[in-house]
Amino acid sequence: MGKRALLILFLSIPVFLFSQEPPKETDAGKKTQKNIPVLAQYSNRFTVKPIYFNKRIDVTGKGDILEIEMVIENLTDDPIDMYIFTIATFENVEATRSSFERPIPPAERIKTFVASPDDIKNFEYPVYDEQGNIKKDFFGKEIVEYKKYPHEPRKGVDPTTGKAYHLVDKLVLRTYHLSVYKKNYYFFNEAALLIFDMDGNPVYRQLYDLKNWRR
C-alpha cells in the first residue's frame, strides 16, 4: 500500500474484541490503569492543518482505501521530533440519542480496526473478568481487544528513516487504510490521529467523524 503496509481485522475472529476503553496492564497479577487521554488534545508547539480523508479504490480489487493526508506545521523555531499513528475504524453507533435506546457495549462498538504503522499487537490488550483474571476462549487462548492507544508509542516512526518524524517547518504525511470487500462490508466511519513526544508522552489526540470530513 505504498509507504504503509495494510492490515485489517474483523469482528468475526472469535478471540478478538474491540473497545475504546482505557487499557489495563498487569503487575504481579494486579491490574493498573494507564493514564490515557480520553478527550481531544492539542499542542501549542505545532498544528495539524489541513487534514483530508479520501476514499480510493484499491487497484488490486480487494476493497476500498481510506487515504489520510495532513500537513503538520511547526509553531516554534526549533525542530520537533515526534511519533505518529493514524487509526481507521468502522464503529457501530446508536441510532438515536434517546435515553431509552440500549447503549452499544464497548466490545461491540468497533467492527473494523486498521492502524498505521500496522503493528497491530501494539494496540492489543487482554480482556479481564470481574476477578481481574485474563479471559480465555474455549481453546484456552487469551481473549484480547483493540484500543486506540499503543503499548509502545515509540513505534510510530517515519517509514522512510525508521526513526521519529523530524518536523522542521512543515511535514506532509499520508497513510493508507484498506477496508476489504466482504458480505457484510463496512467502510470506515471514524479515524484517529495520535502524536507522541520523544519521551512517549501523548501531545496530540484527535478523533474524526468521517461523515463530516471525507471528500
Span 61-77, pLDDT tens digits: 999 999 999 999 999 99
| pLDDT surpasses 70 at 25 | no
Percent of the chain's residues with pLDDT above 70 = 76
Looking at residue 2, what is its pLDDT? 46
Whole-model pTM? Answer: 0.79
The CA-atom distances, in angstroms, between 23 and each of 18, 122, 166, 206, 215 are 11, 12, 29, 18, 33
Looking at residue 78, what is its pLDDT? 98
Provide the CB-side half-sphere exposure for 49 (13 A, CA). 6
| pLDDT surpasses 50 at 29 | no
| pLDDT surpasses 80 at 18 | no
Q: How far is residue 103's CA from residue 199's CA, in Å, rounded to a whole number?
A: 37
Looking at residue 98, what is its pLDDT? 64
Looking at residue 167, what is its pLDDT? 98
C-alpha cell at 34: 494507564
Q: In whole numbers, what is the pLDDT of the chain averaged over residues?
A: 83
| pLDDT surpasses 50 at 95 | yes
Please list the alpha-helical segments (H only) found in 56-165.
106-109
| pLDDT surpasses 90 at 190 | yes
Mean pLDDT of 133-140: 88
Q: How far is residue 174's CA from residue 4's CA, in Å, rounded to a whole number?
A: 9
Mean pLDDT of 182-199: 94
C-alpha cell at 65: 482505501
Task: Find, among 43, 23, 42, the residue nearest to 33 by Cα.
Answer: 23
Contact 111, 10 (CB under 8 A): yes
Instruction: Read off the DSSP letter of residue 29.
Output: T
Count of all residues that appear for the chain in the document: 215
| pLDDT surpasses 90 at 19 | no
The domains of the chain are located at 9-24+43-213
Looking at residue 106, what is its pLDDT? 61
> Residue 205, SS3?
strand
| pLDDT surpasses 70 at 149 | yes
